[in-house]
Structure 1
């Protein structure tokens, strides 16, 4: 397999030069290089057993039961073997989704084998055995979650998911064309345009079938980088993780859950404005869903992803019509369960108390937002996840319009029931808008920020300026050789390559300058947001209504000196975004070169995931779409958890020193309602600045401003 690896961490091998300055670089030793090479090879041609001699030998000879002493936690070997030995484990070739409880439990059992392996050798042998003998999707999910959380593998770079499983990211006609090339040319590649292989031009789903105005946004909804980002977010933060068991207790996961989805919705809204669309439609379970969805995707076994018709009814009678659902699990009752869960969550917010098995929990305490986030996500840290339920899970099943499974091994998950594909469906954003509105119900009972919380004594932002904001489309190449199947000889020769060329949005890097006047030397935090100023009709949106539409663009600590401070930042300086990186071939050659002593190899110590740098800005328009920057400077107050040695020993996304720095809430100052618009605009340590975003076919065309 020849992958075109897009790194999740910036700066690897000093190739992501723009972000490398903000990430700690470490020169890899031989042990790290060996693990990096092992992980890449394990994920090669994942949809079929490997024919490599070492893998075949381990797959046939390694015995988990006989090596039970090599796993730290008692009982995990027996737990997994109960599935495996009694024929309950998902067979190879069947579809896998963590949205289905029985399959999730199997994935957790396998993950525990990986995670609690005593040493790397045991982990490696277990992984290779499972890669050969366990369902492909189940193995992939459990393996990548283990890699990013095990201490000895957490800095390893994983390939983007769209290279491992191209089926989930490219239309079925693209995968079909890859099959055609493989069958016609027998695994032999050709030299074309400097690339040793075949190139397929890929469009987005609206190219063949345009069902709704939402498909104007298919370039964004189906972007491989954004979907990969969402998949890996759920790998770093599995909804089923227990804080106590897996070391999350220093992470405000409930607050982060809210902020992550609020920002995802805000970024989507910015893109909608560029296409003349307005608010994300409000989802009402009692009204037919207007937005249809036809995924244009097929699973590796040939089964089509379920589609949703226009004006789909969600009532249980309509949704389950013609299916046997009354005794086949909870999904057939999704509509009723959602009604129950939403009512209980609303009651908890309005009453201020959550009912737990131990008694009542105060929701309006210092930890209230974190408690509410855990409760709505229904993770193991929820005070009562069984009672308050997972609206997002049952809502995904209901909106995805997938069929009720005949058995645990015969499922047909919708796009909403796979993290890799969920963002493709516009209904995803409608569902999470409804969930975010539950949080807004909670914030409604909070006091708005006043002068004490917003003003920074002796500090004033006096000016802000920015370069022209230019976006454009450029070709992006993805190797999809994993989509086809190989004979043992072809795997050994490894000489067939097929890639996709797809146009993706990008932006020209820009610099902005902030002038801050300070009466004294002081350590500060600077947040820069980007949001709309007008709606799709050109009407001004007041800040009270607009606060949830701002996207956090940059976030950093800055030492202010007495007098004027001019802060200059390039868009590439933001620690929240990462560029596309080098191809797998170049990366793999560097790993081999470093192992052979011909060169050094550097990697990023903190293996974060990032939003694609090419989507820092929304598309804009040829005539220019107006948006606005917002900057606020406030006192630096370190998070209490950052003072903990235990915290310093483990880094998580959104928690490392390169990302979220201080004790203020993640959404500050837009997390609470704004009762006085003029007061908010008069905060001296903040500043609004209007700027247009221009879309250009010719990126050298500079607009007149």
Structure 2
């Protein structure tokens, strides 16, 4: 890292430390006299910032646009320090993070791990209290770590999926994704568009649902049921999280509760917006605010719908199509206290850093995905000509691990430091130890024949999907496509004749490795700009079963020259996990629809009937070893 970037990194890190203990709520003279701060400080300190709440987002947008517009890095830092004294804690970290990721003079700077900034959003309250207790017993210079214990038991079937839902990596990924792609991003103000943002919203969440269903099958549970009836009783959930900023727990949802109206939005609004969106899908067009029909075609339809359903700034008609996704999150988080009479915290569905912990998140997003799938039904199934890469034949595929075509998963231990967020009154570090799923390293070996006489360039697309459902029945292709998880996508050069392509699992276009800790960033150990958005590498593949679980490993090669997007790679920034996160400030690096070729209906009975020579699939086994 150049010295200037290293110095900037050092100066930015304090903005993210001890944020929950910054209790000052007084405007300085400079702040009061600066009209740029007008409209900030509306959301009170000690309240939980909700990235899905319209009013919260308005204030956060004003702040991050102000920070991005600062003419110099010093002015940017000055505005950050001033606003930290009176802006809501969560809103502040969100807005500063958006600004750091998008200011040109912040290139080379890595955001600190959100789990070290707000550990109370990732660590159960029992473990946090234990750290405070242990900090008083150990010598002040001694490092102390406590273990996170289970927060549920087998009386709740969803307990078996806690390792996935409560994984630090996926919850951090979800938080960072919404920082990279703010719903309120105004390209006309910032000067940079977010290419295919609506489609990315669809695809990233669709993949989360597919992965969750694969984990359910790994644990002998049925695939989830979409939350499609807005009046049905909901399952219960307790996150065991407490918000340090106000000392209150995130609300527990007892079993049998239903959605209830808020002052800002009613349950009937969700139903009305759903019906209007489905009507538009069936009609084949949406109407903008001037009544102009905008076709939902195969090239732009998913992106248009994504912006409408998320209710981003780019929604063509927010007044008519509403904000079904965002308000759905808010309503689910508010079932305990819809009118605010008890002044309790909302549930975890209110926060992008915590919502994945709740089983209802996946049911809600399966419902959201079903609306996109309704649109996909209106598109023709891919023809053989659209699927083929003439002259290219995939001869074989295998997975090289400790046993060929068998991937082993295990539970491993990791640590999370809490000292950067909380005052313990000691010099030794405090932290927690937690377990997470991981897999052995593996490598793909793909043998491809280029039947032509010239070198070709290809895109390799790799997916994984379960072979059998929870009853042991083989999953038919059109159902299987909803469960196919993307493992990798990369460019390769093919020479005439036989080619052997090898690729390490750690190189995946979906995942990122371990985020550098705040301590490493402060010491200058991490010199590579780390963009944080990306699925954790340790969860690249599902858990599998103790005796083995069979999966289809699907590999397809397409014509890279057709797939290529003009500006990809021009900045070289944030391209580690492009499949789910895109390439920041660049066009999405693939002209194909996200999820291709499984994004459309497959009208055959057996997967083998659908394959063209440039595709193949092999059965692989995922086995889980208990430690």
TM-score strictly above 0.5: yes
SS at 1:234's partner residue? helix
Do the aligned partners of 1:62 and 1:125 also contact (CA within 8 Å) in 2? no
Determine the structure 2 residue equivalent to 1:42: 15
The superposition leaves residues 295-343 of structure 1 with CA deviations (integer Å, 9 ceiling, x where unpaired) of 11111112121122223233xxxx36xxxx5xxx224x1x111110000
Deviation string 1:653-703 (CA, Å, 9 cap, x unpaired) is: 3136999533111211001101124575331110111111111136xxxxx
Instruction: Look up the match of 2:403.
Output: none
**Secondary structure of residue in 2 paired with 1:177:** helix
Q: Secondary structure at the match of 1:106?
A: helix
* SS of match in other structure, 1:634: strand
Distance 1:628 1:515, change over 3 A: same
Aligned to 1:697, the other structure's residue is in SS state: coil
Q: Aligned match of 2:385 in 441, 449, 452?
A: 452
Counterpart for residue 625 of structure 2: 696
Asked if residue 515 in structure 1 is aligned to residue 447 in structure 2, the reply is yes
Q: Tell me if 1:201 matches 2:147.
A: yes
**Residue pairs, 1:520-539, within 5 angstroms:** 520=452, 521-539=455-473
Query: 5+ residue gaps in structure 1?
Result: 1-27, 69-76, 192-196, 592-600, 699-705
The 1:147–1:83 alpha-carbon spacing in structure 2 relative to 1, beyond 3 Å, is closer
Cα 1:650–1:641 shift into 2, 3 Å = farther
Partner of 2:98: 145
Listed as ranges, the matches of 1:45-124 within 5 Å are 45-49=18-22, 63-64=30-31, 77-78=35-36, 80-84=37-41, 89-124=42-77
Question: Which digits, 9 at most, give the CA deviation of each residue in 1:127-180, with x for residues without a partner?
Answer: 112223332222111111111111111431112211111111111111111222
- Unaligned segments of structure 2, at least 5 residues: 401-405
Distance between the aligned counterparts of 1:531 and 1:62, measured in 2? 60
Contact 1:167 1:483 in 2 (8 A): no
Change over 3 Å in CA distance of 1:123–1:214 after alignment to 2: same
Whether the aligned pair in 1 keeps the contact of 2:234 and 2:258 (CA below 8 Å) is no
Change over 3 Å in CA distance of 1:660–1:284 after alignment to 2: closer
1:507-535 CA distance string (max 9 Å, x none): 11011211111112211110011111111
Query: What SS does the corresponding residue of 1:669 show, helix, strand or coil?
Result: coil
Please state whether the residue corresponding to 1:642 is helix, strand or coil. coil
Show the counterpart of 1:4: none
- Equivalent residue for 2:610, pick from 667, 670, 681: 681
Q: Match of 2:527?
A: 602
CA gap of 1:477–1:81, structure 2 versus 1, over 3 A, is same
Q: 1:252 to 1:238 in 2, by over 3 A?
A: same
Is residue 478 of structure 1 aligned with residue 416 of structure 2? yes
Of 655, 669, 676, 2:583 maps to: 655
Once residues 511 and 212 of structure 2 are traced to their aligned partners in structure 1, the CA distance between those partners, rounded to angstroms, is 16
- Counterparts of 1:649 and 1:169, CA distance in 2: 28
Residue in 2 that maps onto 1:442:
375
In 2, Cα distance between the equivalents of 1:99 and 1:214? 25
Aligned counterparts of 2:183 and 2:298: Cα–Cα separation in 1: 23
Q: How far apart, CA to CA, are the structure 2 residues paired with 1:553 and 1:189?
A: 45
Specify the alignment match of 1:618 in structure 2.
542
Matched with 1:550 is 484
Moved more, 414-423 or 675-684: 675-684
Q: CA separation in 2, counterparts of 1:649 and 1:226? A: 22
Change (3 A) 1:581 1:105: closer
Q: Name 1:265's counterpart in structure 2.
A: 209
Q: What's the C-alpha RMSD, in Å, of the aligned pairs?
A: 2.8
**What is the aligned partner in structure 1 of residue 293 from structure 2?**
360
After superposition, the Cα gap between the structure-2 partners of 1:288 and 1:50, relative to the gap in structure 1 and judged at 3 Å, is closer
Counterpart secondary structure, 1:530:
strand
Structure 1, residues 451-502: CA drift from partner, whole Å, max 9, x if none?
A: 110011111111111133011111111111245336xxx5xxx614211011
Aligned with residue 253 of structure 2, among 298, 303, 308 = 308
Select 1:374's aligned residue among 282, 292, 307.
307
1:500 corresponds in structure 2 to 432
Q: 1:650 to 1:512 in 2, by over 3 A?
A: closer
Do the aligned partners of 1:175 and 1:483 also contact (CA within 8 Å) in 2?
no
Match of 2:511 in 1: 577
| 1:422-445 deviation per Cα after TM superposition (whole angstroms, max 9, x unaligned) | 000010010010111111111111
Q: Deviations over 1:365-398 (max 9, x none)?
A: 6322211111111111111012111211222233
Q: Which residue pairs with 2:593 in the alignment?
A: 665
Q: Which moved more, 1:542-551 or 1:651-660?
A: 651-660
Q: Quick one: distance in 1 between partners of 2:588 and 2:161?
A: 30
The equivalent residue for 1:596 is none
Instruction: Give the Cα separation in 2 of the matches to 1:529 and 1:81.
Output: 49
* CA shift for structure 1 position 252: 0.9
Structure 2 distance, partners of 1:81, 1:361, is 37
Q: Could you state the TM-score of these two structures normalised by the residue count of structure 2?
A: 0.91
The within-5 A match list for 1:135-534 is 135-184=88-137, 189-191=140-142, 197-206=143-152, 212-249=156-193, 251-286=195-230, 288-300=232-244, 301-314=246-259, 319=260, 329-331=263-265, 333=266, 335-358=267-290, 359-364=292-297, 366-400=299-333, 401-406=335-340, 412-467=345-400, 468-482=406-420, 484-485=422-423, 490=425, 495-520=427-452, 521-534=455-468
CA contact (8 A) 1:93 1:136 kept: yes
Q: 1:660 to 1:472 in 2, by over 3 A?
A: farther
Which whole-Å CA distance do the structure 2 matches of 1:646 and 1:557 have between them?
16
Match of 1:595 in 2: none
Instruction: Report the CA distance shift for 1:405/1:198 in structure 2 as closer, same or farther (over 3 A).
Output: farther
> Can you list the C-alpha shifts for 1:184-203, whole angstroms capped at 9, x where unaligned?
56xx5353xxxxx2111102
**1:96 positional shift:** 2.2
By how many angstroms is 1:246 displaced?
3.0
What's the CA shift for 1:562?
A: 0.8
CA contact (8 A) 2:201 2:306 kept: yes
CA distance in 1, matches of 2:312, 2:270: 16
User: 1:575, 1:659 within 8 Å by CA — same for their partners in 2?
Assistant: no
1:214 Cα shift?
A: 1.2
Q: 1:381 to 1:500 in 2, by over 3 A?
A: same
* Secondary structure in 2 matching 1:240: coil
Contact 1:461/1:516, CA 8 A, preserved across alignment = yes
Find the residue that maps to 1:366 and give its secondary structure.
coil
Larger RCO: 1 or 2 (CA < 8 Å, sep 6+): 1
- Partners of 1:456 and 1:630 lie apart in 2 by 16
**Deviation for aligned residue 1:289:** 3.4
